[in-house]
Each structure stands twice: as C-alpha cells, then as structure tokens.
C-alpha cells in the first residue's frame, strides 16, 4: 500500500511537471535556438548568425533605453509597494470595526483588470480633462503633462503599478504579521520595550520570509512589465520618446511589429538571464535567520 501511495504521489507530481516542462522549458530552449538565427517570418531562409544578435544588443539604443527604464521601474516600484504594503498592513491589523470592508477596498485594485485600470488612470491624468489637473488648478498649481511628458511619464506609470499591486502586498504582510506569536510582544512589553523597539527586534526579523517573497516576486513582476505600459499610452506604446519603454514591450515590438523573431529571441534570453541572476542574488543575500 505504501508503494502504491508513492507511485500515486509521483504520478500527481509528474503531470504538472510535464506540463511545466512543455509550457516553460521547451519554449525557452526554442527561443535560445532561434536567437542564433536571423529569423524573420517574412523570409523563406533563416540564416545562422551565431552570436551576432547578442553583439547587436550592445549597440541598440532602444534596447539600452528599455533596460534602463525597466531598472527604474524596479528600483522605484518594489521598495514603494513593500513600504506602503507593510505600513497599511500594520494599520489594518489594529482596525476592529469594518475590518473586512477596509481589507476588501485595499485589495480591489489588485483584482481589477489591468487594462481597465490603465484606461481609467489615463483619464485621471489627462492633461486636458483629467480630474488630477483640475484639482491642481484649484490649488493654484499649473497643470502637469504627466503621461505626455518624457520626464513624468515613467513616474506616473510606476504609481499606477504600485497602486494596483498594493493590495497583494497588504495581504502578504497581514498573513506574515498574523503568524508572529503574540507572546513575543507580551514578553517585550514586560521588559519595557517601546513599540518601535518591538517592531525593529521582533516584527521585522520574523517578517523576513515574507519580505524575501515580496521582494523576489515584485522584482520579477517589474522586470516583465508590459500590459500597463501598453495601455496607458496606447497610441504611442513606450512613449513619449521611449520614456516608458520596457524590455518586454520592446520584445513584443520586435517580434510582432518588425517580425524580427531571431533578434527578439536574443532580447528574451538576455532578460531571462537577468531575472535569473537577480533572483538568485536576492535569495542569497536577503534570506536571514534570526534568534528572537
């Protein structure tokens, strides 16, 4: 019976593993192979070019600009959503009246379709008709270009992404806070520790697994940004002047706009390597063991 249960367990584990290999690893290997060819779907012959596509990346200003923008999104968005998520989670933990309603309101943006949220955000920050500029006018502040300004578009887009992902971060931190035994705080209170001291010595160390998960998943999400950027400025995707362009959007434009599948595959492989390296580094240096 034990042997039969083991076989059943391996069967149930094997089916999702097979699906994962087919859906994830096989396309990755195909992209790696395709990146070694001048693969254009409009041509009958796909010549082998070796590492020429990768060498071309170093001279591609649009790729370098997209890589810079993607890094800026990550540097701005990940710390902001973690800090705000933890702060709101700490406040919601103290709420006793209408607790479920407040949590639902904060989580609602996360389950809102990204396309719908992006279009509403575009209307809110419209230079001519947006309520945000109307409010600024009441405060005697000149109207801002926001999504049509090369210097403001990236920050406005990052604000949308932080707002939309905030609910997920709050849920993560609420779960992490609920898992911390109350006896630790009671012992700290008996010892005369202040609220700030308890937060630094108990809450933050015991939230480390939640922090690591949040940082890693958030970083991966920001490095793969696509839908929000496309829909915030649908007539000028990645604009103005490429100020909101991301690597994922650039891959899409290369593959399905210019039909340069080989070069797009090279960019995909580079993005995959970047995400893998950053994830490994984060897991290595952020994971800590604390003695409370």
Mean per-residue pLDDT for 213-225? 94
Residue 249, classified by CB atoms within 10 Å of its CB into exposed (0-12), middle (13-18) or buried (19+), is buried
> Does the pLDDT value for residue 274 go beyond 60?
yes
In a domain, 242, yes or no: yes
Contact at 8 Å (CB) between 41 and 259?
yes
For the chain, what is the mean pLDDT? Answer: 90
Mean per-residue pLDDT for 68-79? 96
- Give the side-chain half-sphere CA count within 13 A for 247: 26
Contact at 8 Å (CB) between 72 and 159?
no
CATH number (domain holding residue 247): 1.10.3720.10
In a domain, 40, yes or no: no
> Does the pLDDT value for residue 292 go beyond 50?
no
Q: Domain residues for 182?
A: 61-286
In a domain, 51, yes or no: no
- Give the side-chain half-sphere CA count within 13 A for 155: 7
In a domain, 291, yes or no: no
Instruction: In whole angstroms, give the CA distance from residue 144 to residue 281.
Output: 39
In a domain, 22, yes or no: no
> Does the pLDDT value for residue 291 go beyond 60?
no
In a domain, 48, yes or no: no
Percent of the chain with pLDDT over 90: 54
> Does the pLDDT value for residue 3 go beyond 90?
no
Instruction: In whole angstroms, give the CA distance from residue 96 to residue 18.
Output: 46
Instruction: In whole angstroms, give the CA distance from residue 198 to residue 200.
Output: 6
Percent of the chain with pLDDT over 70: 98
* Two structure tokens written together for 252: 């899409």
Contact at 8 Å (CB) between 144 and 136?
yes
Mean per-residue pLDDT for 274-286? 91
What pLDDT does residue 289 have?
61
**H-helix segments, 35-181:** 52-57, 61-92, 99-111, 114-124, 131-138, 153-178
For 134-167, what is each residue's pLDDT tens digit?
999 999 889 888 988 899 999 999 999 999 999 9
Query: What is the total count of domains within the chain?
Result: 1
In a domain, 252, yes or no: yes
Mean per-residue pLDDT for 12-35? 87
Instruction: In whole angstroms, give the CA distance from residue 172 to residue 106.
Output: 13
Angle at 149 between CA 163 and CA 81, to 5 degrees: 20
In a domain, 119, yes or no: yes
């Amino acid at each position: 019976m034990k042997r039969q249960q083991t076989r059943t367990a391996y069967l149930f584990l094997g089916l999702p593993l097979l699906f994962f290999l087919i859906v994830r690893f096989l396309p990755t290997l195909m992209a790696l192979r395709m990146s070694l060819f001048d693969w254009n779907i409009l041509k009958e012959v796909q010549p082998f070019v070796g590492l020429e596509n990768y060498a071309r990346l170093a001279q591609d200003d649009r790729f370098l600009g997209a890589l810079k923008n993607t890094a800026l999104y990550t540097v701005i968005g990940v710390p902001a959503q973690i800090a705000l998520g933890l702060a709101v989670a700490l406040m919601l933990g103290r709420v006793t009246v209408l607790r479920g309603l407040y949590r639902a309101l904060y989580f609602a943006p996360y389950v809102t379709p990204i396309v719908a949220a992006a279009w509403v955000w575009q209307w809110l920050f419209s230079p001519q008709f947006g309520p945000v500029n109307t409010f600024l006018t009441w405060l005697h502040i000149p109207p801002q270009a926001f999504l049509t300004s090369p210097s403001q578009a990236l920050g406005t887009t990052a604000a949308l992404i932080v707002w939309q992902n905030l609910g997920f971060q709050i849920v993560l931190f609420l779960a992490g806070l609920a898992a911390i035994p109350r006896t630790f705080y009671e012992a700290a209170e008996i010892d005369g520790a202040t609220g700030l001291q308890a937060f630094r010595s108990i809450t933050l160390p015991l939230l480390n697994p939640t922090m690591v998960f949040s940082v890693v998943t958030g970083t991966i999400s920001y490095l793969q940004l696509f839908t929000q950027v496309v829909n915030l400025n649908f007539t000028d995707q990645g604009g103005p002047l490429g100020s909101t362009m991301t690597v994922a959007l650039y891959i899409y434009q290369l593959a399905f706009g210019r039909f340069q599948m080989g070069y797009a595959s090279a960019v995909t492989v580079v993005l995959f390597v970047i995400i893998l390296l950053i994830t490994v580094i984060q897991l290595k240096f952020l994971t800590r063991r604390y003695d409370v």
